[in-house]
Amino acid sequence: MSLTKRTFMTTLAASALAMTGFSGPAQAFEPTKPIDFVIMAGAGGGADQIARFIQSVAEKKDLTTRPLVPNNKGGGSGAEALIALKGASDPDHTILVTLNSFFATPLRQPNLGIDIQTFTPVAMMGVDPFVLWVHKDSGITTFEQWLETVKGMDGEYVMGGTGKGQEDSTVVAWMEGTFDIKIKYIPYDGGGAVAKDLAGQQIMASVNNPAEAKGFYESGDVVPLIAFSDERLAAYQDVRTVKELGHDFSYYNQRAVVGAPGMSDDAAAYYQDLFKTVYDTEEWQGYMASESLSPLWLDADQQREYWSTQVQNHKDLFAAMGE
């Protein structure tokens, strides 16, 4: 078992209390009922797969005394999940697997009354980079060629994505603004459907996570052009990043777990500990490698900081998109 700094401090404080004769509930938290493991996306999406992977790792290693029960609440771009967490009747047994709609949805729908800083940080499990893909039959092999083609089509170039305000559309909007191109954007209900319609040439290009396009990449149907990550991706070493082109831009989808607002410190410490253990397992490390996730472990305080910067980033991006 690995101790995070925080649990270590809690344990220390607890033993100190015990020694001075206080008989408070010093024992660390243990769940007494099944843990409501809310997923901010419908069944089958990237976030859902990750949640179920984490659940099965926890199950396999017997890490929890009560099971994690996956609960898909993908409605309203994650608004449904955020509202469910905010009103959770038992915050100590309610956690949420998030993606970037955790930041974007409260910004785009202020009437929800969600303040994400009230949520309890649990674990940052990694971030999922985005890559621009085209079909091999288009003959395009470089990003410059692609830009040329898009410009030549004058607004008739068709891309697919998971919907306005979703992660990939943010990247598309950024490209439109930066490279002065116009794209026709078709929303789908999931990244998998986008990748499939790219392979079937229903659309001309897509911004997909590597995990979603991997199967078609291995079969040679789709070609990666450029990555929107800070550094080149291990599995796609010859794909350049936009940073190499001199643009200070990168965009990742966060794969993080947060607790309901009002979760007790003991419970938060318990879950932080649990997910640190999951993070360090061979299984999770292997999953990140095979699905090209970038490892990024953040402790609770760093997560809060990360949230602030991300909220600001999204505000800037939305402002730049003219929303």
Q: What does the binding site for another protein look like in residue numbers (CB under 8 A)?
A: 32-34, 36, 43-44, 48-49, 52-53, 55-56, 59-60, 65-67, 69-71, 73-77, 79-80, 83-84, 108-109, 156, 158, 163-166, 184, 186-189, 192-193, 195-197, 199-200, 202, 214-216, 218-219, 221, 286-287, 290-291
**Which lies closer to another protein via its Cβ, residue 120 or residue 166?**
166
CB of 297 to another protein, least distance (A): 21
Query: For residues 46 and 121, which CB has a smaller minimum distance to another protein in the complex?
Result: 46
Work out the angle at residue 34's Cα, subtended by the Cα atoms of residues 31 and 40, and round it to the nearest 5 degrees: 110
- Three-state secondary-structure class, residue 161: strand
What's the closest the beta carbon of residue 230 comes to another protein, in angstroms? 25
Torsion over CA of 259, 262, 268 and 270, rounded to 10 degrees? -100
Dig out the tokens for 144 from the structure: 């410059």
Our measurement of the distance from residue 210's CA atom to the centroid of its chain's CA atoms, rounded to an integer in Å, reads: 13
Strand partners, 253: 128
Min dist CB 103 to another protein, Å, is 15
| Strand duo 158-161 + 184-187: pairing | parallel
CA 227 to CA 250: how far, in whole Å? 8
What is the amino acid identity at position 238? D
CB 51 within 8 A of CB 37: yes
The total number of residues written for the chain in this structure: 323
Nearer to another protein, 164 or 240 (CB): 164
Residue 6 or 187 having the CB closest to another protein: 187
* Residue 75 vs 262, nearer CB to another protein: 75
Q: Which is nearer to another protein, 122 or 198 (CB)?
A: 198
- In whole angstroms, how close is the CB of 20 to another protein at the nearest point? 31
Q: How far is the CB of 56 from another protein (least distance, A)?
A: 5
Going by C-beta distance under 8 Å and a sequence separation of 6 or more, which residues neighbour residue 4?
A: 269, 272, 273, 276, 299
- The nearest distance, CB 189 to another protein, in angstroms, is 6
